[in-house]
Amino acid sequence: MLATHQLRAGYGSVAVLFDVDIAVGAGESIAIIGANGAGKSTLVRAICGLIPSMAGTIEKEGRPIQSLPPHARAEHGVAVVLEGRHLFGELSLESNLRIAETQGSKRRNARFDFSFEDVLDLFPFMRGRLGAPVGVFSGGEQQMVAIGRALLLKPDLLILDEPSTGLAPKVVREIVAVIQTLRQKGMSLLLIEQHIGVASECSDRAYVMSLGKIVKELDSTDWHDQSLLAEITQAYLG
């Protein structure tokens, strides 16, 4: 579904990511874990085109997308929920969702055809709040709006940058349940998470990032081995 090869990216002329190789198969959920400043969000920005690639390639289903602008990558089925969510806070919930719905309508033959109604079914709290500006919503509600908006782009790869950070345990459970629903539907996911328990619960395998490089690849057995995860937490997330 998505692969990066020897990807290098950063800010201005300063590289932050070095030779990053990751792959997300169709229907796979992959986690990237790493300490603050490791380069996780930089990788997300490079994949969705918010920062240019300096070297290497990014392929979506075998096609190079690293030279395309962000909207064209979205039209290829790559949607992202950025850290900090980036909603239109003054606009109503319905307007936020309708803007995404309009963009998503450009996607022909999408594998996952989420409608406005489907998003309301996934997040029932939204039904009573459609007219409210999203700026007044709680952090958890805003995260759900950001996910709903990304789904309306009809992606086949959804990238989530720290969806659980800063949220109460009960809300984290709700977000986890939504992620599990998307996995059951077969959507490909790239999940950035600092909370290793949430990451392990929501993904098939993982990459560990440190100082802009992938330093470990964990297969499904490693990734659910609690003593190994404790070691990795100590070595790379401590």
Ligand X SMILES: Nc1ncnc2c1ncn2[C@@H]1O[C@H](COP(=O)(O)OP(=O)(O)OP(=O)(O)O)[C@@H](O)[C@H]1O
Asked if residue 40 binds ligand X (CB under 6 A), the reply is yes
Binding mask 103-132 for ligand X (x = CB under 6 A): ------------------------------
Residue type, 56: G
C-beta separation of 191 from 163 below 8 A: yes
**Cα 179 off chain centre by:** 10
- Which residues on neighbouring strands pair with residue 29, listed in sequence order? 189
Asked if residue 39 binds ligand X (CB under 6 A), the reply is yes
CB of 189 to Mg ion, least distance (A): 17
Q: Write the CB contacts of 51 (distance below 8 Å, at least 6 apart in sequence).
A: 9, 10, 11, 42, 45
Interacting span for ligand X (CB under 6 A) from 39-47, 59-67, 127-135, 137-145: 39-47
Asked if residue 53 binds Mg ion (CB under 5 A), the reply is no
Rounded CA-CA distance 176/148 in Å is 14
Residue 78 token pair: 């790559």
Residues 187 to 206 in contact with ligand X, rule: CB under 6 A: 194
C-beta separation of 60 from 1 below 8 A: yes
Among 4, 29, 41, 96, which residue sits at the site for Mg ion (rule: CB under 5 A)? 41
Asked if residue 42 binds ligand X (CB under 6 A), the reply is yes
CB of 160 to ligand X, least distance (A): 13
The bridge status of strand 78-81 relative to strand 29-33 is unpaired
- Residues lying near ligand X in the complex (CB under 6 A) are found at 11, 16, 34, 36-42, 83, 194
- Residues lying near Mg ion in the complex (CB under 5 A) are found at 40-41, 83
